[in-house]
């Protein structure tokens, strides 16, 4: 997949909406963006990234492509030592919680082709999920 080309998807195919926050002058601003907007921003933001390090999931699998670049950049920006990332389910399975309630994790993307009903064409569906770095997690207090 060439991530530098504009995506040829229909806006109706991208219905999930992510709530994102920005911090300015100690005030949080919440705004909605479609998954396609978040995906395109991630591609633009990481396309010039020079040093991309290995990033692994809690199950030991390596991230690849755009997600690897996103996590490598997040590791640099947040000055994290660990390159291990947990999904919400993995956090629950390992009895972990985020240290800060303001930690919304890092958004990653999944894409797949879906058949368009009644035609021989397919459309790209992009969805997102969040992961949290091992350094930002602590065991659940018992």
pLDDT at residue 48 in the model: 62
pLDDT at residue 56 in the model: 95
Q: Got the DSSP string for 49-96?
A: -------EETTSPBP-HHHHHHHHHHHHHTT-S--EEEEHHHHHHTTE
From first CA to last CA, the distance across the chain in angstroms is 45
Q: Which of the residues in the chain have pLDDT under 70?
A: 1-33, 47-50
Q: Are 4 and 96 in contact (CB under 8 A)?
A: no
pLDDT at residue 47 in the model: 65
What are 57-93's pLDDT values in tens digits? 999 999 998 899 889 888 888 889 999 999 999 999 9
User: pTM value?
Assistant: 0.68
pLDDT at residue 108 in the model: 92
pLDDT at residue 87 in the model: 95
DSSP state of 25: T
């Amino acid at each position: 997949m060439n991530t530098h080309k504009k995506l040829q998807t229909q806006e109706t195919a991208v219905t999930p909406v992510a709530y994102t926050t920005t911090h300015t002058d100690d005030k949080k601003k919440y705004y909605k963006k479609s998954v396609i907007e978040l995906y395109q921003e991630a591609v633009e933001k990481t396309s010039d990234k020079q040093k991309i390090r290995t990033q692994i999931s809690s199950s030991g699998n390596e991230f690849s492509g755009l997600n690897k670049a996103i996590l490598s950049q997040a590791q640099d920006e947040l000055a994290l030592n660990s390159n291990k990332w947990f999904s919400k389910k993995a956090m629950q399975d390992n009895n972990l919680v985020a240290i800060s309630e303001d930690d919304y994790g890092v958004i990653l993307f999944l894409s797949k082709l879906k058949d368009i009903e009644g035609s021989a064409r397919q459309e790209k569906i992009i969805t997102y999920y969040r992961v949290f770095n091992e350094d930002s997690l602590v065991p659940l207090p018992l």
